Amino acid sequence: GLPGDGLSMENAIVILQSVQAPLIIDPSTKASEWLKNHAGAKEKASLETVTMHDKRFSNKLELAVRFGKTLVIEEVDKIEPILYSIVRKDLERQGLRWVVQVGDKTVDYNESFRLYLVTRNPYPTIPP
């Protein structure tokens, strides 16, 4: 689990209550393990963990968005363009549903979708 100090507790609350996708800078990987255990227990089978280097990354991202899974992306040293529209929540209305661009695909956006970005790098590259 996480350390019991006040700062760790505040950070945990911010991470879990955030509407935007939080970028978690976690050199020790303690927060990452806590997040996977906490979200995994809460979300059951709908938690997916992936790295940007995974061969099936874009497919896993698309499925998580479409089916409302919780996606933890590890080793995020910079925000890749495929994530821009998701991180910014650039949603468009198509009839009764919301959609978002994932790479070159327009994907149905499930409001249960949650995204957590995790890096061990204390100085990640974050575009404006």
| Domain spans, the chain | 6-119
Topology given in CATH for the domain delimited by 6-119 = Rossmann fold (3.40.50)
- Who wins on pLDDT, 39 or 99? 99
- Who wins on pLDDT, 3 or 35? 35
Asked if 102 contacts 85 with a C-beta cutoff of 8 angstroms, the reply is: yes
- The backbone region for 84, taken as left when phi is positive above 0, alpha when psi lies in -120 to 50, beta otherwise, is alpha
Tell me, what's the pLDDT at 41? 64
Tell me, what's the pLDDT at 40? 67
Q: What percent of the chain has pLDDT over 90?
A: 63
Tell me, what's the pLDDT at 19? 85
CA–CA distance, 25 with 56 (Å, rounded to integer) = 24
Residue 68, pLDDT above cutoff 60: yes
Q: What is the pLDDT of residues 4-51, one digit of tens each?
A: 788 888 888 888 888 889 999 999 998 888 888 887 666 566 889 999
Mean pLDDT across 80-104:
95
